[in-house]
Each structure stands twice: as C-alpha cells, then as structure tokens.
Chains A and B, each alone.
Chain A
C-alpha cells in the first residue's frame, strides 16, 4: 500500500514539488546508489596500503588522495557508505516494525493494554537513547547486529507514540465500528482498516527516523563502538583522521560532510513526504 501510494503521490507531482524536497530525495537516492554500486564501479581496494601515504586531492591514481596508511580515500569513502546506510535502514526498519505494532495495539484496544504498553515506552524513552545503545553494544559486541538492535529499540518508542495517537483516533471512526459489526476480527481490522489510513504520516516519520538512526550509527562508529576497522566507515574515518585535522583536513571533512549531508537530506525528505501525504493539503 505505501509503495502504491508513493507512486501515486509522485505521479501526481505531490512528492518533491519543492526544490528542497526534490534535492533531498535526489541526495538520499544518490547515497543509496553509491552504497550499492559505487565500490564495484571504482574497483579499488579500500584496505590496500600503498607507499604513497598522505597524497593530496588530485594525486595521480588517487582522486581524493590517500590517508596516513596510503589507502585510497575515494575507495574508502565509497565503501564507507555501506555500513552507515545498512545500519540506518535496518535499525529504522526494526524501529518501525516494533513501534508501529506496539502503537497500533495500544491505540486500537485502549484501556489497560494501552496503559501498560505506553508506560513501557515511556520507560524506554526515559533512558537517554545514546546510553541505551551503548549498553546494548557493550553487552553484546560492536558490529552491525548490535547496532541495529540498539538503535532500533531506542527509536521504536517515538514511532509507537505517534502510531498510538493516530490509531486511537481512527479506532473511534465509524468504519472501524462497521468492520466490527461485520464480524471482522481485531487483528485484521488493525492491519486492513486502520493501518492504511495512518500510513501517510507514519511513513513520513519513518523517513525522518532514518536520519536519526544514521546520526546514531555514525556517532557510535566515531566512538569506536560501531563498525570495527578495518571495514571502512565514515564515523570511524572521522575519528582516525582527527589527528591530521590541520595537515590534511580532507580526512575528516569528507566523511563528516557525507554523513551530515545524508542525515539532513533524510530529514528534509521526510518533511517533503509528510507534506505530500497530508490529506489536508490536497484532498
């Protein structure tokens, strides 16, 4: 359903109407393409060390130069997109599945079920997200699975809250009552009747959650709790490049800027999607 709605929204020129929205979507798409296709296209090995250390931008054979170990920066930048996007997308998907399921059940049934579920979410929200993620990563071991679970779980309550509010509003509508009268069971009513009617604002929030997840992923890698070397990763690259900040700022600026651009683009893309799917705007 969301896919169909998206296609419809795009074909009616509702998505990406503003220049900002269009740019944001283009950038998000570009990053996804880079992560998927970039490395094989370039063909360079991001881990291969050469004697040509600290080559500057435009050096022969190294478009973006090399780092302190003589590794090609272009290859490292392209490969570095992978872990960030992988963690961001997977953890957002986990947050969406958890948050939407919990919020939907809470909002639809109300009463004590809602109370119990939402107090649990409040409890999770009361922890600083970063601390919660570090706890999960430290208890497990740094890597993609622990990052995805940590970030996903810590971002789920926000989505659960939004879903609960939207679902509770819809649950009181007459078409839900009609479905109950028609003998439709509660799980089916939630998925078939309620969910499609709240999918718009949820989807927008999910895209925005993507930017938060990407921020966390990069931040944790920077702290050394995320992707472990030698896998190239933007967050780790910023940390490793720090000591050369004055002599070779590109080692820090390139991965930091790439992360920032992706996070901001996701945020504006979510904004654009929300505007496009807002029923008050067009219908």
Chain B
C-alpha cells in the first residue's frame, strides 16, 4: 500500500447559518494527495457547504481547515488569495456560474490575472489553450456563455478551475444539471484531467453510479455528519451503515438476482433540531433503544473504514466468525 499524504483536512468543522441551522456538524475528514474522494448524501445534508467551507468561501463557525498541514482557517487578504489559487471549484449550475456579460476567454483568464499575476497576453494565451484542452477549441474564447450548451458551459467552468493551477478541486455536483447523455463526457473529462494533472478532488454527488465511476474512496453524509467512510470497492461491495445500504439499494443495477429495495421513509429531519441519539434513527429500520438516546461515534470498523453506527452492518455479519 502506498504512503498517503494528507492534502486537505478538516477537524471538528462546523458551519452554522444565521437561523441556528448547523449544516455541517463536527466533521473530521481527510482527503489524501492524488485521490478522488466521493462525498455523497441527499439534498440538504450539508455536502456542498462542507466543500465550500474547505475552500474558505463559506466561513466555518468552529473547527480547523488544514491544507498541506497549514492551518488555513484564519487566513486573510493576500495570503488567502495566493493559497486559494491551489484550491478551486467546479460548480453545479452551468448557468449561474459563468458571468453572462463576459467573453469566455476573459472568464477563464481572470484567475490567471488575479491569482497568478500573469500579464494580459500570457493569461489570454493560456486561457485559449485551456479551452482547447477541455475540448471547446480556441475560437470558443470570443463567444459569450449563453452561446453554449450546459455541457459546454461545464467545460468552460472546468477550464476556469484549472487556470490558476490548482492541486485540490472541489467538484460540486458537476454533472447533476446535465442531460444523462452529456454526463459521461464531462465525467470522463474531469477524470482524465485529474489523472493527467495529478489533482486531488472532492467529488460531491448524490448519484452513486457516478461516484462509483470516479471515486477512490467514498464518504457518506447525513444531516451534517459523516456517517461512513470507506474505499470505493469495500463500500460498494457491502455498505456498513444502514443509510448507505438504503442509498445503494436505490441505485438501479443490471445484476443477477433481484435485490431488496429499501425505501427510506419520512423526510430528512429538520437540521435546526436534529433528533437525539443517532440522527438517523428516525428512518433506520434496524434502530434499537440505544440509537434513540446515545449518539454513536464515528468508529473504525476495518482498516481505512469508519462507520457512525451502534450496529454496523458489516460487524453484524462478521461477529459470528469473530
């Protein structure tokens, strides 16, 4: 097993919004250099907020963010700007993420001018090269965003994210707004670029099929907490948290025997008033009394695999052999 260096770490990170909603609650998460970590969970669970807090575009209310060992939680001004050149983001909405009034070349050149201090000519040349790299061609630079389709706009967004030469990229549901027929192209482009440029990526998605395709490890979020984190293969072979199991059972599959489909009942609880005990107990089909009173810790159940559950599913199956 190769040595893993942490690139991006958050420790006890919480993000609280004005209305007492804690969108992210005491999250510990490490993204290792060179890996793609898939962050999954349903809408409203706080995965985008966590991603944005890592990049310091949303201020955490407590906790620490470390990038290459350096605590960047309180960085300001010029230092923050120069650090952030290495931390970039690909957005979910291909329409809202590009300024409709600017030419595409200017949009992509902007981070080169500001974060890298490039001169106009170099920035423009690099921007056009990047547009070529993402498959749009250099002539795309003279046009404006509204002349492009959703998939093409995501390519522009990817070119812009690559422009300042990042090492860590948060891809926030980069394909969920796209037609299914386009999704694969954009996913493959992202995967290729990640490999070629040795990028580390936090890939946020609610689509487990997509995550399975791009991620090395998978983290599952529920109501602002990480409830399971595992390598991709281990996760998809046997989810350890009842919520992961329910999520996985909802993914359509072309496999052999028909699988039991676990339908989640009820709504996501109000994040302003999370249930006591395990936050998932209100919807969990295995819940026992302890789950209703005592919150389970995020505990390592196998090497490299942690679960926040009193009765993890893999422990249940392995206990007789132990």
Q: What residues of chain A have their CB less than 8 Å away from a CB belonging to chain B?
A: 1, 173-175, 177-185, 188, 193, 196-197, 283
Shortest A34–chain B CB gap in Å is: 35
Within 8 A of A (CB), among B37-58: 52, 55, 57
Shortest B108–chain A CB gap in Å is: 10
Q: Is B96's CB under 8 angstroms from A182's CB?
A: no
Are A182 and B87 CB-contacts (below 8 A) given A174-B97, A193-B99, A196-B101? no
Q: What residues of chain B have their CB less than 8 Å away from a CB belonging to chain A?
A: 52, 55, 57, 81-82, 84-85, 87-89, 91-93, 96-102, 110-111, 114-116, 146, 157, 160, 163-164
Residue from A1, A182, A196 within 8 A of B114 (CB atoms): A182
Residue from B57, B91, B102, B163 within 8 A of A180 (CB atoms): B57
Q: Is A179's CB under 8 angstroms from B101's CB?
A: no
Are A181 and B55 CB-contacts (below 8 A) given A174-B96, A175-B96? yes
Residues of B within 8 A of A178 (CB): 89, 91, 97-98, 157, 160
Can you name 14 A-B pairs with beta carbons within 8 Å?
Answer: A174-B92, A175-B98, A178-B91, A178-B160, A179-B99, A181-B55, A181-B89, A182-B114, A183-B81, A183-B111, A183-B114, A183-B164, A196-B99, A283-B146
Shortest A211–chain B CB gap in Å is: 28
Residues of A within 8 A of B97 (CB): 173-175, 177-178
Q: Is A182's CB under 8 angstroms from B110's CB?
A: yes
In the complex, residue of chain B having the shortest beta-carbon distance to the beta carbon of A184: B114
Residues of B within 8 A of A182 (CB): 110-111, 114-115, 160, 163-164
Residues of B within 8 A of A193 (CB): 99, 102
Residues of A within 8 A of B89 (CB): 177-178, 181
In the complex, residue of chain A having the shortest beta-carbon distance to the beta carbon of B101: A196
Are A181 and B87 CB-contacts (below 8 A) given A174-B93, A174-B96, A175-B96? yes
Residues of A within 8 A of B99 (CB): 175, 179, 193, 196-197
Residues of A within 8 A of B115 (CB): 182-183
CA of A188 to CA of B99 in the docked complex: distance in angstroms? 14
Residues of B within 8 A of A180 (CB): 57
> How many interface contacts (CB-CB < 8 Å) are there between A and B?
64
In the complex, residue of chain A having the shortest beta-carbon distance to the beta carbon of B91: A174
Are A181 and B84 CB-contacts (below 8 A) given A174-B91, A174-B93, A283-B146? yes
- 18 more contacts with CB within 8 A, not counting A174-B91, A197-B101, are A177-B52, A178-B157, A178-B160, A179-B110, A181-B57, A181-B84, A181-B88, A181-B89, A181-B111, A182-B114, A183-B82, A183-B85, A183-B114, A183-B115, A183-B116, A185-B114, A197-B99, A197-B100
Shortest B94–chain A CB gap in Å is: 9
Residues of B within 8 A of A196 (CB): 99, 101-102
Shortest B177–chain A CB gap in Å is: 11
Shortest A200–chain B CB gap in Å is: 10
Shortest B18–chain A CB gap in Å is: 10
Residues of B within 8 A of A185 (CB): 81, 114
CA of A170 to CA of B142 in the docked complex: distance in angstroms? 24
Shortest A244–chain B CB gap in Å is: 55
In the complex, residue of chain A having the shortest beta-carbon distance to the beta carbon of B98: A175
CA of A282 to CA of B302 in the docked complex: distance in angstroms? 59
Are A184 and B110 CB-contacts (below 8 A) given A174-B97, A197-B100? yes
In the complex, residue of chain B having the shortest beta-carbon distance to the beta carbon of A196: B101
CA of A196 to CA of B146 in the docked complex: distance in angstroms? 15
* Of listed A182, A185, A196, residue having the most chain B CB within 10 A: A182
